[in-house]
Structure 1
């Protein structure tokens, strides 16, 4: 019996173990099957094209990462700053009161302008069609080789940047074709690990908002909100100051920190776009984000080494804006100042801070940065230089930049908006100074950076030929020391100010100046496919082309040329405000 009991127990234990092994095997197989299913689903998500929704008549691809649902590690403290409300003051008119001219001369003039508009439109279409055929959905066309480039996230920056231009020129078929493509952009799909917050804001977000303001297509607004929510994450830092480059992984992990040496324009030029997005959507989080930066500017304006202005670079991590001693209206700082009167305008005059910031800044610019060049004809023109200032030292370099040519338009607009006639006069002199630099070059185009012999005040000074022989460049027009960077990168700043001065003064001479500039640029930059940057504006004969056509050529430079020959009621300066990429945003 004992032996039989033992045998029975052994057999029973074997049966139990066998049952357990079978169960474990089956469970393992089920786990493997589940794991395989998960892998297949994951691969399908990655490699199988998304089936877009149909929204408002467009095939719409939602961004595969929804930043609006991502919890911020450093959320904005309550209360959220609200868009200003109340009775809007009656703002002065910015645009000249143009009157229709039905005289024979007026009719003939309109015919000339119509021919010029058509020419600009044809050149735009040449570049656009080449982009459409050879670089579609990529960031840029390579205008010499016919290739493409992706330097802005691969999110079709030329496509998006050109949307409002297509609408303005009445190219509705091309517009809706481009919108259809833009609605399939997934902001989470990029080969880049970081995004340039400034460039993406002014180019992509600004373009989408302008396209929506013009067309009222709701799908465009949805795509703008997706992007706005991604860019809003740039403010998720310990001190709520924005980053310059937003690393996606750091943003997801709550590890973003504001930079310690960042261009002032890059972190202080989101105001227009974020404010307009807040106005359209009613979501004040966007306005709250940029208002905090404006308050920082206000707190430091009179504590820098050149009181009234802010230095070229900021330490946003410590919120110390006196770590740099260089000052300019040119590259790296330009749009900070440009947006001050424009913010006042888009807010309907309900936020007086921006007028205060502008007035104090420009008082310093006029006293410290503007200079008059020494020329044989004592030309009544002005340029903006670059300054270095400490507590004991002030040095103004008479170096000017193509970037700085925007200042003519800024002074003109603000002079009308804030009723400062002196600033309108300064605007004309800065604008004509940039035109003078264009006319001085063999190609008829101003260089990227150049140095000029300066007078010691803003008053006329006599020509000093001995000084010219010592300091000047005999290969250039008298008055020039050098063309330190002789390139032309298809930039818009000079024609931007010429356009503004025409719309502000009504002086048709600016239209003739614009036509001369346009012909020179086309002649020097045109390729078989489109238009290209050039290496040297000082050369005679054929120019050396660079295989580059930035998106702002189609979206900005040609836009100002087209509009200056168009009816002034198209994008009136009293109804729209241009962001720094020339995207017209509607003032509520």
Structure 2
């Protein structure tokens, strides 16, 4: 039986009935009054989310630390990220933002003890996952502890220790770039310093390294790390295709790259799995330094415009008020989407803010509203991993499809943050408190359904009572992102936020770790 949770009961009366099919244009003066009158509500919600984060941390620390993950239903541990304590490192930036001093202190004591030279689990090392979770977590902590959270530093030299560990880890993984093209392999064998040259990589795995490795270079005053990843990024941005592959729309890519030739070997892609964070980092590198990475921004604009103009950002005929991001094979559009692709709403909003382009903001808000509708539609109030809105004959038009205009294809929920992430960006851009309400509602649903035993577990079916079955696995990214974005949407007085205009002081990595931007814009 699930433990009764305070979040299931508190503030339910404060959640109004919201028409998710209509986005109102906020009156800024009225909203200011509304925000002032409800500041205590958002503070209370932020505190409740912080308490949920600390509950999950305590379960992990008690039963799984220093292993990678907690299995909360039976208080066991797992090591899917090489046994280096993924949850601890991933949780650090969130603990700092929340000013959870005891969590910060525990993690800062632990990180200098990690031996990144060997895989403790004996598994191959994922360059991508290790970069975004471990490297990103440590570098972000350096920026935060050297910046507005200096009071949480546990020693005078702790940020030096973090940078040293980040250097050791990146230096250990550099052999991934020893390919004919400089596009890195992803799965690395630390025992032999080898990898399979014939394994293709995706745009996300090879194109989501540049922010972390460039930030490391800036901290070390050593360009070698930045140069490796920027060279790889340039090759992906200027995509080449095998002779028998039909190129997709401008700016939109396939999903498999031959690291020996640099050619894409297929033209099948999407804004979700395998490609998502490549597109995400194009605009985020521009945020990091608008002078040095203006060509990245141009590629991002091209990709967004191609999506908006060629049916990738599609209004299903079953629900013209919705906008979902489709998949593609060449120029053929496939009407399927995913929870992972829901990051794009926030990403497009960010692009609109920094480029001062309201069209991008509106497109992003359309995606945010539609992704939240996948939460509204289910029994648990949580969105599924995947859905379709095809009207082909093979589709069994279920009552669900007739009511909501789409059908669930993958009903699991893996503790993902993307909808909460985009709701946070929508609130920061518009000041419309409905996005705070929606974020709170989504988090309450996650808390009510996924909290079990000593932590939180992924579930198998969002559209049945109690979420179907528990998978007994708590992802480290729940600490890095899911808790963080839910909290930031309510935490008005956080010292780190997405800026509400062109100037940004911080940029959030794909794992939700905030980095100080290189230049003030």
> 2: distance between equivalents of 1:185 and 1:327?
37
Q: Which residue of 2 aligns with 1:215?
A: 145
Among 449, 467, 470, the alignment partner of 1:545 is 470
> 2: distance between equivalents of 1:470 and 1:244?
37
Pair 1:415-2:352 in alignment: yes
Pair 1:236-2:178 in alignment: yes
> 2: distance between equivalents of 1:250 and 1:361?
39
Query: 1:572 deviation in Å?
Result: 2.5
4+ residue runs over 6 A deviation: 98-103, 467-470
Q: Which residue of 1 aligns with 2:88?
A: 159
> 1: distance between equivalents of 2:30 and 2:313?
37
Query: 1:417 deviation in Å?
Result: 1.5
The 3-state SS of whatever aligns with 1:442 is coil
Which structure has more relative contact order (CA 8 Å, sep 6+)? It is: 2
Query: 1:468 deviation in Å?
Result: 10
> 2: distance between equivalents of 1:326 and 1:195?
26
Q: Which residue of 2 aligns with 1:331?
A: 273
> 2: distance between equivalents of 1:257 and 1:436?
42
- Decide whether the 8 Å contact of 1:445 with 1:521 is kept in 2: yes
Alignment of 1:362-401 (within 5 A): 362-368=304-310, 369-375=312-318, 378-379=320-321, 381-389=322-330, 394-401=331-338
> 1: distance between equivalents of 2:190 and 2:494?
42
> 2: distance between equivalents of 1:476 and 1:127?
35
- Decide whether the 8 Å contact of 2:251 with 2:300 is kept in 1: no
Mean Cα deviation higher: 282-291 or 472-481: 472-481
The 3-state SS of whatever aligns with 1:478 is helix
> 1: distance between equivalents of 2:84 and 2:60?
14
Q: Which residue of 1 aligns with 2:361?
A: 424
Q: Which residue of 2 aligns with 1:23?
A: none
Pair 1:280-2:205 in alignment: no
CA RMSD, 1 decimal: 2.4
> 2: distance between equivalents of 1:156 and 1:163?
11
The 3-state SS of whatever aligns with 1:410 is helix
Query: 1:373 deviation in Å?
Result: 2.2
Alignment of 1:206-355 (within 5 A): 206-216=136-146, 217-251=159-193, 256=195, 258-300=197-239, 304-321=247-264, 323-355=265-297
> 2: distance between equivalents of 1:188 and 1:178?
19
Deviation by residue 1:397-432 (Cα, 9 ceiling, x = unmatched): 111100000000111111122233211110000000
Deviation by residue 1:462-503 (Cα, 9 ceiling, x = unmatched): xxxxx9997522245624453111000000011110001111
The 3-state SS of whatever aligns with 2:492 is coil
Query: 1:152 deviation in Å?
Result: 0.5
The 3-state SS of whatever aligns with 1:248 is coil
Tell me how many residue pairs correspond in the alignment. Answer: 470
> 2: distance between equivalents of 1:491 and 1:471?
28
Q: Which residue of 2 aligns with 1:438?
A: 375
> 1: distance between equivalents of 2:169 and 2:123?
16
TM score, norm. by length of structure 1? 0.76
Seen in structure 2, the aligned counterparts of structure 1 residues 109 and 309 have a Cα distance that, compared at 3 Å, is same
Seen in structure 2, the aligned counterparts of structure 1 residues 100 and 278 have a Cα distance that, compared at 3 Å, is farther
Pair 1:185-2:110 in alignment: no
Among 478, 486, 495, the alignment partner of 1:570 is 495
Seen in structure 2, the aligned counterparts of structure 1 residues 349 and 551 have a Cα distance that, compared at 3 Å, is same
The 3-state SS of whatever aligns with 1:484 is strand
Deviation by residue 1:223-244 (Cα, 9 ceiling, x = unmatched): 1111121122211233322111
Q: Which runs of 5+ in 1 are unaligned?
A: 1-95, 455-466
Seen in structure 2, the aligned counterparts of structure 1 residues 452 and 479 have a Cα distance that, compared at 3 Å, is farther
Pair 1:450-2:372 in alignment: no
> 1: distance between equivalents of 2:493 and 2:506?
12
Seen in structure 2, the aligned counterparts of structure 1 residues 565 and 481 have a Cα distance that, compared at 3 Å, is closer
- Decide whether the 8 Å contact of 2:457 with 2:470 is kept in 1: yes
Query: 1:107 deviation in Å?
Result: 4.6
Query: 1:258 deviation in Å?
Result: 4.3
> 2: distance between equivalents of 1:509 and 1:479?
21
Query: 1:312 deviation in Å?
Result: 1.2
- Decide whether the 8 Å contact of 2:180 with 2:259 is kept in 1: no
Q: Which runs of 5+ in 2 are unaligned?
A: 1-25, 147-158, 499-503
Query: 1:262 deviation in Å?
Result: 1.9
Seen in structure 2, the aligned counterparts of structure 1 residues 164 and 412 have a Cα distance that, compared at 3 Å, is same
Query: 1:540 deviation in Å?
Result: 2.7
Deviation by residue 1:174-209 (Cα, 9 ceiling, x = unmatched): 201111111100012423252000000000000000
Query: 1:450 deviation in Å?
Result: 0.7
Deviation by residue 1:544-583 (Cα, 9 ceiling, x = unmatched): 2110110011111010001110126531221111111000
- Decide whether the 8 Å contact of 2:417 with 2:478 is kept in 1: yes
Seen in structure 2, the aligned counterparts of structure 1 residues 100 and 206 have a Cα distance that, compared at 3 Å, is farther
TM score, norm. by length of structure 2? 0.85
Q: Which residue of 2 aligns with 1:3?
A: none
Mean Cα deviation higher: 184-193 or 110-119: 184-193
Mean Cα deviation higher: 293-302 or 221-230: 293-302
Query: 1:359 deviation in Å?
Result: 1.6
- Decide whether the 8 Å contact of 1:236 with 1:256 is kept in 2: no
Query: 1:530 deviation in Å?
Result: 1.1
Query: 1:250 deviation in Å?
Result: 3.8
> 1: distance between equivalents of 2:195 and 2:468?
45
> 2: distance between equivalents of 1:577 and 1:139?
26
- Decide whether the 8 Å contact of 2:488 with 2:497 is kept in 1: no
Q: Which residue of 2 aligns with 1:203?
A: 133
Deviation by residue 1:235-260 (Cα, 9 ceiling, x = unmatched): 12333221111112442xxx556444
The 3-state SS of whatever aligns with 1:387 is strand
Seen in structure 2, the aligned counterparts of structure 1 residues 249 and 442 have a Cα distance that, compared at 3 Å, is same
> 1: distance between equivalents of 2:413 and 2:462?
7
